[in-house]
Amino acid sequence: MLRVAMWNTNRVPAAHLCSALVHEHNANVLIVLEALEPKATYLDFLNEDGSGRWHLSPGLCERIDMYTRFPQEMSRVEAESKHYTVRSIHLPGFPTVTLVGVHLQSKLHQNEKSQQFEAMSVMKVVRDHEARVGHRRTVITGDFNMDPYEIGMVSTLGFHGLASRRTVQEGHRVVMGDAYDLFFNPMWGHFGDGSARPHGTYRYWSAEHVCQEWHLFDQVLVRPELMNSLPSASVLILETIGKTPLTSSRGVPCVSDHLPLMFGLSIQEVSS
């Protein structure tokens, strides 16, 4: 089981909360975006039980920090830039998984067309990596700064993340004679007000004629090869960590401006 917690902390002191989060949900990977505190502080909180099991998975991506509850040699950097990191996760007895962390540019700094091209750029790196390692057991998670329905998220040359498991199970979609590989994006199912769960991961409210209020910028996408390993019920947007509320009485994020994402992959062991 690969259990991943991901949070854009918006440069607030959150190491103690991230530690509580991973212990509450039994995560073995923590991805932190926009961390304020030093990595050593995170490690101190993560290992405050004295176990020493949490390690920094080192990399050069300035916007994304990754910590794992397994040794560093089981997580290898394959490609990086300022806005993404591609890691191979190889746990003993399990097939290697590609874990991609992203923190793409905000709409404050890039328009929609630029975001589309950025999505295409990241996906070229991902596809090149998949071709090189010979498998598509790929997970992408992070702050995309796009909603699931935006062009960069759904276009064939972008992340190509669709909502239907049945469609994604086919593996690819053919457009004008060319086949384009698919991702499954379970975040589509988090839209709406059908339950007590959060309405999104990020809220923007303004006195404009067009304002949708809630956004699902923080997402997880998986290839068809891992889709059955990701039950939709395992994908959680968290409003509390322990007894600490992350939203106000009106449901507005009040610690960071983003809410954390938690998901689990039930990966099958390699038969001997």
The model's pLDDT over 114-159, given as tens digits with 9 standing for 90+, comes to: 999 999 999 999 999 999 999 999 999 999 999 999 999 999 999 9
pLDDT at position 271: 56
Q: Side-chain half-sphere of 132: how many Cα atoms within 13 Å? A: 11
**The whole model's pTM is what?**
0.95
pLDDT at position 199: 86
Residue 196 structure tokens: 């007590």
Comparing 228 with 197, the larger pLDDT belongs to 228
pLDDT at position 195: 64
Q: Any residues with CB less than 8 A from the CB of 158 and at least 6 apart, and which?
A: 116, 119, 120, 123, 151, 152
pLDDT of residue 101 exceeding 50, the answer is yes
User: Residue 30: what are its φ and ψ, rounded to 5°?
Assistant: -125, 125
